[in-house]
Structure formats: C-alpha cells, structure tokens
Amino acid sequence: MRFTLYFLVAIIFAMADEGSYFFEPFTESFGKRIKVEKLYYQGKTKYQFVQCFYNKFLGKVLFLDKRIQSAQIDEYIYHESLVHPALITHPSPREVLVIGGGEGATIREVLRHSTVEKVIMVDIDSELVELCQKYLPEWSEGAFSDPKTSLIFEDARPFVKKTREKFDVIISDLTEPIEHGPSVFLFTEEFFSINFEALKEDGLFVLQAGSADPSYNQFFCSLVKTLEKVFPLVRPYWTFVLSFSMPWGFVLASKTKDPLDLDEKDIAQRMRERSVQKLKYYHPGFHQSYFALPLYLVKNLKQGKVLTDNKPFIWKL
C-alpha cells in the first residue's frame, strides 16, 4: 500500500503545468523540482508518457515516463560521451546502428565522423521521434534528413535478430527498463548476444547504463557483468551529467579493440582525419579519464548480476 500510494503521488506531482513546479522522484526519500516556464507538450504515445517543457536554467527538457532524458543545457555531455569513445576506438567506422535515440542527438554525433557511410536508427516509438523533431530540433540539427541516415520504426530486438547487415558499431541509447516499459528485454544476455552476432569481426557495442552514484549503481554493475558473458573485452566508464544530478554510466563492449590502447596523439589524429569538429565535451586528453572508475564502483562491479530474459532488471520508483 505504501509503494502504491507513493506511486500515485508521484504521478500527480509529475504532471507539468506552466508556472508550477514539476517533481521528478528518484526514490521515496529523494527527488527534485523543476519549474515549468513554458509547456510544449504533455501526452501519451503508444509506448510512453512524454513531457517537454522549458526551464530558465535547463532550457528545453524532455521527460519520458517521469524520468528526465535530455536537457538543453548539457545534452551534449551525455551524447558525446555515449558516441565518441566507441567510434574513436574503431579504426574506421562505416556502418553504425543506433538503437533508440529518439531525440536525434546520437545520430548527430555519429555523423560528425566522415568515415561513416550509413547510420540506421531503430526506434519503436515513431510518435516520440515526430515530437522531438517538432519541439527539440536543436538536438538533431538536421541529422534525420541527412542522406546517410535511415529511420526504422519497430522493436529493436526482432530487427537486430533478423537483419543480414553487419555493423562496425552498435549504440544502444534506450530508456531505462521500467515495468511495462519498451526496454525491459533490451538489457539482457540474450539481446546482447544478438548484437554480438550483428557486429563485424572488429565491431564494438556501447550503451547508456544508468546512474553510477554510490547508492543506485546496481543496474550499471549488472550490465557490466552481463556484457562480460558475451564480449571478450568490456570497459565500463562514466561522467557527470548536471541535468541528471548524478554521475552517469556507460559500457563499451568490444570484440577486439580496446579504448585504453589509444593515447592522446592517436585520438587527435583520428579526429583530424575524420574531420570531427564542434565538440563541446569530448576531446583527446579526456578519453582515458572516462574509464577511471571510483573505488565504490570498482568494488560494486563484483556484485553485479547477470541479467537474462527470465531475470531482467526493472527499475522501480
């Protein structure tokens, strides 16, 4: 009853209204308030509850199922961190698959690499992508209309399983797995194995892995443990995202290439050769630092659990 009451209260406080304060719950004991200066959209797609509004500090903000996804003030930190460590690690990424990424910022960053000839984005929610193009065009910067981009609206799992294409890099930019959400079975050993088969011999897989704070890093640590069951080389990394109010985790899994083998000169050379420009966060001197984890994460990685279709991870508010 206590959890049910909390959940109902969270829904009420999470409704956006101009001039009011939007409440985002993280736990029963912690949450944050964000003032809604201007409401752009609030409604339910077939798959998730979408809210988009403006805040004077954060700029435009996107929430899905009451969880913040992107804020104008720092979305580049998240998206550059998700994309560039993996693409720079690959010697010549040409075919890239993006799973999720409805705002379009992930494919925006992929297209900065001149070696990329094709990027396929697979997202289950076409309504969300349309809303992002309408209200958040600053995120995609025209990436959706780039001739190298192909959009496919379907469940990523059957798409990856049936595709005959092989990719250099697969990027998973999915919402976290909440009960009845569209992403629950896209963070399991079975799904990661499907992605492994869809990669070329020197391919890399990278995903956003949730919070990496001291108390709620179980998802992050379990993803590392699960990917280690599938890939021969797994490198977890992290950075701080202001709008999330916490450190955020990512995991790079590779068949052969190690991101730690690259030094600053190697990275700078690859960025020059590919004409990677106009970045605001990632740079050659920062690459190695992503992978230096704090001691609490190093210890907790040992406690991660292998996630399977029978025992997936489900976030609960």
Q: Given this model, what pLDDT does residue 12 score?
A: 43
The CATH superfamily of 75-303 is Vaccinia Virus protein VP39 (3.40.50.150)
Task: For 238-295, write each residue's pLDDT tens digit.
Answer: 999 999 999 999 999 999 999 999 999 999 999 999 999 999 999 999 999 999 999 9
Structure pTM?
Answer: 0.93
3-state secondary structure 205-256: EEEEEEECCCCCCHHHHHHHHHHHCCCCEEEEEEEEEHHHCEEEEEEEEECC
3-state secondary structure of 139: helix
Task: For 14-60, write each residue's pLDDT tens digit.
Answer: 666 778 888 888 777 888 899 999 999 999 999 999 999 999 999 99
- The sign one gets for the Cα dihedral 12, 14, 20, 26 is positive
The CATH superfamily of 2-70 is Spermidine synthase, tetramerisation domain (2.30.140.10)
Active-site positions read 173
Residue 9 clears pLDDT 60, i.e. is over it? no
Domain boundaries, the chain: 2-70, 75-303
Tokens found for residue 307: 């996630």
C-alpha span between 68 and 194 (Å, rounded): 29
Give Cα separations from 284 to 58, 136, 266 (angstroms).
27, 29, 8
Sheet of strand 233-241: strand arrangement? 149-152, 118-122, 95-100, 167-173, 199-211, 246-254, 233-241
Task: For 174-215, write each residue's pLDDT tens digit.
Answer: 988 888 778 899 999 999 999 999 999 999 999 999 999 999
